[in-house]
Structure 1
């Protein structure tokens, strides 16, 4: 897995059923793996005890089982559970409050999740995994069902988290232009394998995208960012 000790965003792209979500679950050891190994920097996923693994890797799945009739503050607090086991001390509460301020959720912390917009709710879930304070964040389609405004806001927040908090974020994305605009590296999946890995300029190319998506895609450079034109 490509990674950076200084933080960054790695976008995972590819067509449906190419293995993106399965890869995230294998990395987080939520699915059994029958061959091969997974290493992140200097630690082996298989040989890492569970208690240590959850302090290194946090995951936000696309379909989260947590009830929407839950107060935002309580949701975010769940991120500290592995440290406090539910008995939050002064440091835990200060950490939770700092994350709430960092993501601008002060005015929403006493609301129920089902009272929030999709973008606000997604920010609350992101706050929860930031509270877990892991080096690596695994996000399965965090832009799903967000409109353009909230999708841009979410990507700006993730970029800020990577740059300021020095987190490495592996994020599944269907919008390859968001991947090109905000990520440091892109991994393109095909038929269950990582077919290509490189910078946005290396990956967002017509020939490569044709191989991945089986459709002709033009690429134009706008503000030094390769943008895919795939609507015609």
Structure 2
């Protein structure tokens, strides 16, 4: 379980998160939604210790994030930040192999190679594993970064806006792969999304944020309704149930 107790974050003196209390457990996909500046990315970054907390405590399976050695924490959770800068002359397989470093510390064994092969297979990268990162499309590059997180072998995978710059095909395929990983590999995936309909279709739980606070936290059916979405985004969004899912008509 990931637990946040009274967590606040201020960056350069500006409050970003305010008194967050949250439990993330039970596997599946949890989507964080909300407008720009809501604190979604800061929340996942604080969990992964990429930004310091101003107050409160974050634990992962009972381990205090602020006090846990980096290698130990990296065996519990993996994060894919928004920053998409990757050394261009790395090959896909080499990038995915980096996910195993917390385990082998530079001396990969058979189980590490097997984990990389599994990640390449699940994220449909086997046919391009020898290609250099700088020759890939945006969708292929995002799949490679997600595969690296998966190869890390952690119970928790944190993804910060992984659909950025992806066309509708690659976005759908990546979300379907993440759903497969959550269902078949018992991984807990916490993902920051701007597309409400991807959250509706693929998430088990949605946490809606605004101004550094949690506005709603429940199933897609309960969060993705007109009244809640208006309080989160500040305008009325019509929602229709299509194929059993609450689909937002925010372009109308």
Q: When the two structures are superposed, what TM-score results if normalisation uses the length of structure 2?
A: 0.88
Gaps of 5+ in 1: none
Q: Deviations over 1:171-217 (max 9, x none)?
A: 00000111011000000011011221000011001011001000110
Match of 1:18 among 32, 35, 38: 38
- Secondary structure at 1:151's aligned position in 2? helix
CA shift at 1:167, angstroms? 0.5
User: What is the CA–CA distance in structure 1 between the aligned matches of 2:236 and 2:134, rounded to whole Å?
Assistant: 41
Match in the other structure for 1:48: 68
1:51 is displaced (CA, Å) by 2.2
In the alignment, is residue 230 of structure 1 matched against residue 218 of structure 2?
Answer: no
Work out which of the residue numbers 16, 24, 27 in structure 2 matches 1:3.
24
Asked if the contact 2:238/2:248 (under 8 Å) is kept, the reply is yes
Residue 217 (structure 1) aligns with: 237
Pair 1:190-2:210 in alignment: yes
Contact 2:220 2:246 in 1 (8 A): yes
Are 1:112 and 2:120 counterparts? no
Q: 1:78 aligns with which of 95, 98, 113?
A: 98
The 3 A distance-change label for structure 1 pair 114 and 90 is same
Which of 118, 124, 146 is the aligned partner of 2:144? 124
**Residue 102 (structure 1) shift:** 2.3
Residues in 1 aligned to 2:145 and 2:234: alpha-carbon distance in whole angstroms: 34
* Contact kept? 2:122, 2:177, Cα under 8 Å: no
**Following the alignment from structure 1 to structure 2, what is the Cα–Cα distance between the partners of residues 48 and 199?**
32
Tell me the TM-score normalised to structure 1 length. Answer: 0.95
Q: Does the 8 Å contact 1:3/1:41 carry over to 2?
A: no
Give the RMSD, CA atoms, in angstroms: 1.4
Rounded Cα–Cα distance in structure 2 between residues aligned with 1:210 and 1:141: 22
Q: Are the equivalent residues in 1 in contact too, given 2:86–2:133 (CA < 8 A)?
A: no
Q: Structure 2 matches for 1:27-176, cutoff 5 A? A: 27-40=47-60, 42-176=62-196
Cα distance in structure 2, aligned partners of 1:221 and 1:39 = 37
Aligned length: 231
Distance 2:59 2:115 in 1: 29
